Amino acid sequence: MSQTNYFDRELSWLEFNQRVLNEAHNKSVPLLERLKFLAITSSNLDEFFRVRVGALTRLIESDAAKKAPSGLTPTEQLAAVQARIKKMVEEQYDCLLNEIAPILLEHEIRQLTEDELNSTQKMMLKQVFETEILSVLTPMSVGEGVQFPLLANQILNLCIRLAPRPFESNSENTTDRFAVIPFGRTLSRFYSLPSESGFAYMPLEDIVCMFIHEFFPGEEVLEFCPFRLTRNAEVEVQEFTPQGLAVNMAEVILARTEADCLRLEVHESVSNELVEFMKSEVQVTDEQIHRVPGPVDLGAFMELAGRRGFENLKYEPWPPVRSPEVPAEELLFDSIAEKDILLFHPYESFEPVVRFVEEAAEDPDVIAIKQTLYRISRDSRIVRALKRAVDNGKHVTVLLELKARFDEERNLKQARELEAIGAQVIHGVKGLKTHAKVCIVVRREPGGVQRYVHFGTGNYNESTAKLYSDASLLSCNEELGADAIAFFNSIAGDSQPPQNYRKLESAPLRLRSELIELIQAEVKRAKAGNEAKIMVKVNALTDTALIDTLYSASQAGVKIFLNIRGICCLKPGVPGLSENIRVTSIVDRFLEHARVIYLHHGGDPQVYISSADWMPRNLDQRKELLVPITDSKCRRQLIHILDSFRKDNTNASHLHPDGTYSKKVLGVDEEPFRAQETLYEEARIATNRIAKKQRTMFEPHHF
C-alpha cells in the first residue's frame, strides 16, 4: 500500500499529548485537575524528548535515510516534530499564565513575588533558606578552564553570571565569571508561606534568587537564570556480552547520565551572553535552546496540584470498589475454583490480584509461584509476598525484566534482593523484553495438583493500578494453566517456545499472525453477507501489517471500532480505503491502558485481553500474550466495557482522515455519556447491591 496511507508515528504521539493538553483547557474539569493535566503534558514531553527525539537524533547521526511508513525521512520527522513541539510549548505556557493562574488567584492560591512578601513571610523564608536550602545546595564555579559539571537529566539548576572580582579589575582579565547551582531532587519545588487566607507559595528558584548573595558574599551578581537539560535516553543495551545483562544494565543507567544534551530550557528573559555561555558548555545548537515565558519544568506543578486541601477544586473521589465476584471472607483460590473472575481496574480494586500472591505465599498447600514483573511499585506488597513465599519454603521463580525503560535501577535492586534470599530470578530474554503479565500458582489439592493463573493487561503495580484502566483474569482453566506453564518455562529454560498453545498466543512468534487470521475470518463472513464487526481497545496502533489487514476488512464491509488512546497511524474514514473504520481516543481522569479485542464471529463472540499494543516493538521485540476469554459472563462484561467506550460522547475525541481530532458536539436532545463515570457507577452499584443482600441474610452458627 502507498506510504501515504499512514499517519506519522511521532506526530501522532504529539497529537495524543495535545488531547491531554486540551483537558487542561477544559473548563468543565476541576481547576487543580486542569493543572495536573498541564503537568502531565510537560512530563510526557520530557520522555518524548529523551526517547523519540533521542532516537531520531541517533538515526540522523548515523546517516540513516530510510523513510518511516509515513514517507518522512528521520531529518524530515525531526523538523516536523520540533515545529509541533514549539507550538505546543507556547500553548502550555499560555494555558498556565493566561487561563489557570488567574483562576487559581480567584480561589486564593497565590504565587508570591519578593515584592509581595510581608515581614512575617520574609522572616519565614530567611529561616527556611538558612536552615535548609543553604545547607543542601552548593554553588560550583564554571568556565575559564574549569570543566562544566555533569548535571543530572531534567533537574532544575541555576546559572549565575558574576562580575570580575575587584582585585582583578586592573588586570587584563576583565571577563565575567560564571557559576552553577544544581538543585538536586531532595528539596521541594514549592514552599508554602503563612497567609491569612487561602494558600500562598513561592517556587524554590525564586527563594534561591532572593538570597543569591548568601552564596557569593562580597561578589557582584549580574544575572541568574534557572535552566534544565534533557539528555538522550536512547542508549544501546549490550545484551550479548560475557559480563551479563545485570552488569550491562548498570552501565546503561550510568551512560544515560552522560548522554548528549537534546534540549536546554531557560527563561526567555535570559541575556544572550548567558545563553551563549551555556550553549557552548553543554554543546547544544540554537534549535535545541527552548526559551520559555514562565517557570522551567511545568511537570513540577504536579506537586502543587496534588497537595492536600482545596478538595472542591479536584475530582470527586472514586475509590476502587470491591468486586462482588471476590468475597472477602472466602479463600481466593476457592472463588477462582468456582468460576473465572474478570476484574476491570481501577473501578474494581486491584486488591484481589495482590491477595492472589499474598495468600499463595502463606497457603501451606501452595508449592510454587511463577511470576513476571515489569514495572513494580516502590514498596511493592507483591515483591514482599514473594519474599515471604521463599521464607515459607515455596519454589519461587520470578522473571524480572531489567530492560523496562527508566525502571531498570529499581528492578535491578529488587532482582538482587530476591536472588539473595533464594528465589530463582531470570533477568529477561536475550534480545527481547518480557512484557507479558502472568502469575502462576501451583497448589497441591485433594484431587491433585491444580494451577491457578492471573493474566493482566497492566503491571503488577499497586500504585499505578489506582490510576490506570486495566483488565485482570483469574482462572484455574486447565488449558490456560498448561499454556501459562509452557510459556513461562520456555523463557526460564531458554528453550524453544511451544509451536501450538492450546489457548494462548504469544509474541514474537504468532501473535501478529493470529490477529490477522482473526480479522480475516470476519472478512470472510462479511463477504458471505453475514454481520461482521470488530472492536479493539489498545494504547497504540502503528503496525502496518495489521493496519493493512484492517483496511482490507473495511473494504469488505466489516464494521470496525477502534479505541486507541495514543498513537494511531491508521487513517479512518477514507473513501475506498477505510470508510467503515471509526477511531476514537479517550482522555479522562484514569489513563486508558487495557488491551481488549472483540470479534462478532457469527454471533458467537471471540474476546481477548492482551499485554501487547499493536506496534512492531510489541509484536517483534517483546514476549507478549494474547489471552482468550472463555467464560461467557466475562466475555459479556468486556463487550459491555468496549460498548461503553464506543458510546462515549463526552471525553472521546474522534480521529479524522486528515489526522486531526475533535470531540463530538452534542445535539439539543442528546444525553451526555461519559464511559469512565458510567463504568465506575456500575461497579459501585453492583458492589452495594451485593452488600445490601448480605445484610439481609442471616447465617446461623454450626457446631
Angstrom distances, CA of residue 525 to CA of 519, 522, 582, 630: 10, 5, 20, 22
Higher-confidence residue of 341 and 689: namely 341
| Residue 35, SS3 per DSSP | helix
pLDDT band at 491 (very low <50, low <70, confident <90, very high): confident
Residue 241 has pLDDT above 60, yes or no: no
Alpha carbon distances (Å) from 43 to 20, 642, 701: 11, 29, 57
Q: Does a cis peptide bond (omega within 30 degrees of 0) precede residue 346? A: yes
- Which residue has cell 477544559? 26
Which residues of the chain are in CATH 3.30.1840.10 domains?
113-284
How many Cα neighbours within 13 Å face the side chain of 133? Answer: 26
Largest CA distance in the chain: 102
CATH of region 1-106, choose from 3.40.50.1240, 3.40.50.970, 1.20.58.310, 3.40.50.850: 1.20.58.310
- Residue 249 binned pLDDT confidence (cut-offs 50, 70, 90): very low
Give the distance from CA 42 to its chain's centroid: 13
Packing angle of the helix pair 675-695, 632-647 (nearest 10 deg): 140
Q: What pLDDT is attached to residue 589? A: 96
C-alpha cell at 120: 512575617
- What is the model's pLDDT at position 236? 44
Average pLDDT, rounded, for the chain: 90
Average pLDDT for 5-20: 97
By CB atoms closer than 10 A (0-12, 13-18, 19+), residue 84 is middle
Mean pLDDT to the nearest integer, 524-550? 97
- Pairing outcome for strands 505-507 and 622-628: antiparallel
Architecture of domain 113-284: 2-Layer Sandwich (3.30)
DSSP 3-state assignment of 601? helix
Residues of the chain with pLDDT > 90, as a percent, come to: 76
Task: Quickly state the pLDDT bin for 496 (edges 50, 70, 90).
Answer: low
- The lowest-confidence range among 244-258, 468-482, 663-677 is 244-258
Cα 105 from Cα 111, distance rounded (Å): 8
Give the pLDDT of residue 3.
57
Q: CB atoms < 10 A from the CB of 631, how many?
A: 16
Q: In 358-389, which positions are buried (b, 16+ CB within 10 angstroms) versus exposed (e)?
A: bbbbebeebebbbbbbbbbbeebbbbebbbbb
* Kind of pairing between the strands at 140-142 and 468-475: unpaired
Q: Comparing 683 with 429, which gets the higher pLDDT?
A: 683
pLDDT of residue 237: 40
Question: Quick check: is 435 catalytic?
Answer: yes
Residue 699: pLDDT band with limits 50, 70, 90: low
Domain with CATH 1.20.58.310 in the chain: 1-106
CATH superfamily of this structure's domain 332-503 = Endonuclease Chain A (3.30.870.10)
Q: What single letter denotes the amino acid at residue 104?
A: L
Residues 6+ apart with CB under 8 A from 419: 425
**What is the average pLDDT across 644-668?**
95
The reported pLDDT for the residue numbered 377 is 85
Q: Which three cell numbers stand for residue 515?
A: 490477529
Does 259 score more than 80 pLDDT? no
Kindly compute the dihedral angle of the four CA atoms of residues 552, 80, 155, 162, in this order, to the nearest 10 degrees. Answer: 180
**Cα angle for residues 90, 93, 94 (degrees, 5° grid):** 80
Q: What are 432's three cell numbers?
A: 527481547
Q: How much of the chain is helix, strand and coil, in % rounded to 5?
A: 40, 20, 35
Helix (H, G, I), strand (E, B) or coil at 171: coil
Confidence check: pLDDT of 234 > 50? yes
**Nearest to 503, CA basis, from 608, 594, 433:** 608
For domain 506-692, give the CATH number: 3.30.870.10
Question: Start-end ranges of CATH 3.30.870.10 in the chain?
Answer: 332-503, 506-692
Residue 12 to residues 540, 556, 615, 654: CA-CA distances in angstroms?
10, 27, 13, 13
51-61, pLDDT tens digit by residue?
899 999 989 98
Indicate if the pLDDT at residue 696 is higher than 70: no
- Please tell me the pTM assigned to this model: 0.91
For residue 150, which amino acid is it?
L
Q: Which of 590, 602, 605 is nearest to 648 (CA)?
A: 590
Pick the catalytic residue: 290, 345, 435, 454? 435
